[in-house]
Structure 1
Amino acid sequence: MDPTDRKQFNKDLMALAVPLALQNLLNALVGASDALMLGRLNQNAIAAVSLANQVSFVMSLFNGALIGSFAVLIAQYWGKKDAANARRFLGMAVRYASMISLIFFLLAFTIPDKLMRILTPEPDLIRIGGEYLRIVSFSYLFAGVSHCFLMMMRVTHYAKMSLWISAVTVVVDMTADFFLIYGIGPFPRLEANGSAYSTIAVEAIALIICLFWAQRKKEIRLDGKTLFFFSKAYEKDAWKIIPGMLASSLSWGLSMTMHSFILGHLGSDATAANSVTSVAQQLIQCLTQGLASGLGIMIGQQLGKNHLDKARDYGERSWRVAFWSGLINIGLVCTVGPLVYVFYVLEPQAKGYLLFMLIYSAFYLFALSYNAVFTCGVFPAGGDSRYDAISVFFATWCFAIPISLLGCFVFHWPVLAVYAVMCLDEIVKVPFIRHRYNRYLWLKNLTRE
């Protein structure tokens, strides 16, 4: 890549990655604000809500995989300047996401206590989490559709609009949390349930803004004809990508739920420390996620234009991006970690766990930068969605999870030993990325003439 192309690459990447990273940061702050305010109440509140949110997390795995699959196709068609077909795939994404959201709403609303018992045996956590889950389930009905439109904004160079929506939702969430969790002014003190009500408000407002915005954009407007458009050929195109994306998303996401399951059976101290660490990791990795998404969009658009050589150059440049992203993650751990450690009110044992988990996160997040950039950005951009599922299956389900389960339930290892093994999967996957990259299975134009 010559200096001029390199300069343009960096400019285009920053134009996409910065708004996307900031949006990821703001979205993480929504979860962080809940955790921060609940963390000032008591340990059981933050642990119960963290476990209950595993239900919405699993829902997001299905919706994320489906929406991400359509994003690959939309990015390529948008690069080809074919807005009509891009809208058709948006309509398909909305239909799929709505069905998934409805299923999870019915489960969380009707059997919240049963879902909580899967995650923890502790009665207090089941009671608090069950009440929270029944209320927050209504937010699921809004989230799936709004996420489709937010995806459309990102891949069609309206990333700044999605950033603005995220900023509004953060302000609403923090304000509602403050008044409803603690019972400020005329509002009742709802504690964990207050966080659930604020989440409903946030998702409803996000959807309203998305729908209003979409109707003002002719190239993105979703009418009834587009929403219910059906074509076997288009469905076939989508389902070439969906299985791989769905398998990788579910494999990775269910492993995160398995982490919560294992730590939930190691006691509330381990659960609380892991909850806080997860919040810190989500905040720190926002830049990496933004870079991965930006690279995926840029490469996808070049592939849609049939500029394969340029897409290949972008792929080579991604190695440097991943390395510097990993170093930045380490620096952020050193900066954010001490602040997180001081702020949260935890038992002494949980504080000890938290310190180790934060230090270990530096290594975890450096490895994650490579995995995110390539398995979530470069590879899926051209339809190579299978590799992530394969790598997660072997590194996580054949290595990290079985050993962690044995350590927890059979050998009764110390909590931190179990945690260290659970997080080895991201590190184990890194050496195999280059081999997959060099096969160039990701270098494909997926559009129809």
Structure 2
Amino acid sequence: MESKILDSKSFYKMAFALVMPMALQNLINVGINSIDVLMLGKVGETVLSGASLASQVQFIMNLIFFGLTSGAAVLTAQYWGKGDTKSIEKILGICMRFSILVAIFFTAVALLFPSQTMRIFTSEEPVIAEGVKYLRIIAFSYLLTSITMIYLNVMRSMEKVVVSTVIYLISLIINLIVASILIFGLFGIPQMGIQGAAIATLTSRCVELICVIVYAKKFNKTVHFNPTKLFIKDKLLFKDFMIYSIPVTINELMWGAGVAMNSVVIGHLGSSVVSANSVAQITRQLATVIAFGIANATAITIGKTIGENNIEAAKVYAKRFIKLSIAAGSFGALVILAIRPMLMSVLSISDITRGNLSVMMFVMSYFVIAQAFNTVLIVGVFRGGGDTKFGLVLDVTTMWGGSILFGALAAFVFKWSVPAVYIILMSDEIIKIPLSFMRYKQKKWLNNVTR
């Protein structure tokens, strides 16, 4: 079969149509997180630290969901290229079966052991007390997320990217309105602080689920999904799902546990360091919205192209997406450096926190370039082509055997300064660059995984 390769103009037009809705969606998700950080930052550092550390529970759970859907996307994108929607419906059912079980587990942990969970991240009693208040409310949103996130991510791997953007935009608006009213006590309602932030997030998650149900019932004519699909059995597809999803899920978990371990190290350096890091992480998320959009677009495009059995086109598209990743990462770095002085003047933080934030944002400016490059290769090119194990090996070695190990030693054994510890903790993406590029050149990611 003759390879059909889009010319540069047609390719970038197609890529832009995929990237922009997903970048906007990532921006909206960052916006939802930023609302809490900025509003609670006005209330006080203890409240901000409590919410930031309590959110690590949902962060880890969301990584499992992302791992499940990334593994599912390997299959979904390629079956989409093949035109097999019946298999996609089965994959969606299998994926959601796992996600609901995971959500039930996390909900139970957050409700039954909130203070013990908070003690993993910090030893400061006032921060723990605030975090417990947050967890006891936000835990009820986990099950809702397990349904909406899986459904929308699977739709996204079928190039249906606008629906999730619209739903998350509605969620952002709801979150902004409810959080403003409850955190600060507007319109005569009592000021609720951290509990107000949790209720606002829970409300927005309820709205997301309602929107997903309406879309699935009324508008989605391609893939038909209802609760009975959760129990459909297909041994071959289940086996394929396990083969491609388990390495990705473990990969996301190890990466997420690594990020959480960074939070543990930072959490034991004091609440001023935690507060500065929570703001720095939001700026990183803001700066990488386009890069993550490109990574997801890469996985969809590479998967679909290989599913169509168009291997030469997949090679060409991968190279073009890598160029886009470098451009997006550089843009993100400029964004961080541009908003750095503004953030430090706006936030009500101590001079020590302000000094830490200044260093952290500089570190983030070069970190996002490396992260954009690696994410497009690992999450986009490699996973799109069915190469799901390499990312797992890379993250375990560079994070756990590199940045986390030496960062913890620098903090607790050598007692180095906060900036030195932070630079080491954030060095993993730099170490990954030559290793991920070498894997790309080997072309072991070109696999058709459909049956």
**TM-score bucket of the superposed structures, by smaller chain:** over 0.9
Equivalence map 1:8-23=2 (5 Å): 8-23=10-25
Distance 2:321 2:84 in 1: 27
Which AA in structure 2 matches 1:200? L
Residue 292 of structure 2 corresponds to residue 289 of structure 1: yes
1:194 to 172, 193, 196: 196
Distance 1:210 1:152 in 2: 12
- Deviation for aligned residue 1:227: 2.7
Match of 1:74 in 2: 76
Match of 1:157 in 2: 159
Distance 2:6 2:81 in 1: 21
- Deviation for aligned residue 1:7: 1.3
Which AA in structure 1 matches 2:312? D
Q: Scaled by the length of structure 1, what TM-score is found?
A: 0.97
Residue 89 of structure 2 corresponds to residue 87 of structure 1: yes
Secondary structure at the counterpart of residue 255 of structure 1: helix
Moved more, 340-349 or 204-213: 340-349
* Stretches of 4+ aligned residues off by more than 3 angstroms: 1-4
2:135 to 126, 133, 136: 133
Given that residues 374 and 433 in structure 1 are in contact (C-alpha distance below 8 angstroms), is that contact kept between their aligned partners in structure 2? yes
Distance 1:96 1:80 in 2: 25
Cα shift readout 1:175-202 (whole Å, capped 9, x = no counterpart): 1110011111132211001111111111
Match of 1:447 in 2: 450
Equivalence map 1:206-217=2 (5 Å): 206-216=208-218, 217=220
Given that residues 84 and 219 in structure 1 are in contact (C-alpha distance below 8 angstroms), is that contact kept between their aligned partners in structure 2? no
- Deviation for aligned residue 1:340: 2.1
Match of 2:107 in 1: 105
- Deviation for aligned residue 1:225: 4.2
Aligned in 2, Cα 1:311/1:3: closer, same or farther, shift over 3 Å? closer
Residue 159 of structure 2 corresponds to residue 120 of structure 1: no
TM-align CA RMSD: 1.4
Match of 1:236 in 2: 239
Match of 1:372 in 2: 375
Equivalence map 1:179-328=2 (5 Å): 179-216=181-218, 217-328=220-331
Q: Scaled by the length of structure 2, what TM-score is found?
A: 0.97
1:395 to 393, 398, 402: 398
Secondary structure at the counterpart of residue 23 of structure 1: helix
Which AA in structure 2 matches 1:395? T
Distance 1:309 1:28 in 2: 36
Aligned in 2, Cα 1:370/1:236: closer, same or farther, shift over 3 Å? same
Moved more, 33-42 or 230-239: 230-239
> Which consecutive unaligned segments of at least 5 residues does structure 2 have?
none
Secondary structure at the counterpart of residue 7 of structure 2: helix
Which AA in structure 1 matches 2:147? V
Cα shift readout 1:377-398 (whole Å, capped 9, x = no counterpart): 1100111111111111111111
Given that residues 140 and 202 in structure 2 are in contact (C-alpha distance below 8 angstroms), is that contact kept between their aligned partners in structure 1? yes
Distance 1:52 1:428 in 2: 29
- Deviation for aligned residue 1:152: 2.6
Cα shift readout 1:305-352 (whole Å, capped 9, x = no counterpart): 111111111112222112212211122112222332222111100000
Given that residues 69 and 154 in structure 2 are in contact (C-alpha distance below 8 angstroms), is that contact kept between their aligned partners in structure 1? no
2:340 to 337, 344, 357: 337
Moved more, 255-264 or 433-442: 433-442
Given that residues 185 and 192 in structure 2 are in contact (C-alpha distance below 8 angstroms), is that contact kept between their aligned partners in structure 1? yes
Residue 350 of structure 2 corresponds to residue 357 of structure 1: no
- Deviation for aligned residue 1:3: 9.8
Residue 436 of structure 2 corresponds to residue 427 of structure 1: no
Aligned in 2, Cα 1:193/1:323: closer, same or farther, shift over 3 Å? same
Given that residues 244 and 386 in structure 1 are in contact (C-alpha distance below 8 angstroms), is that contact kept between their aligned partners in structure 2? yes
> Which consecutive unaligned segments of at least 5 residues does structure 1 have?
none
**How many positions carry a matched residue from both structures?**
448
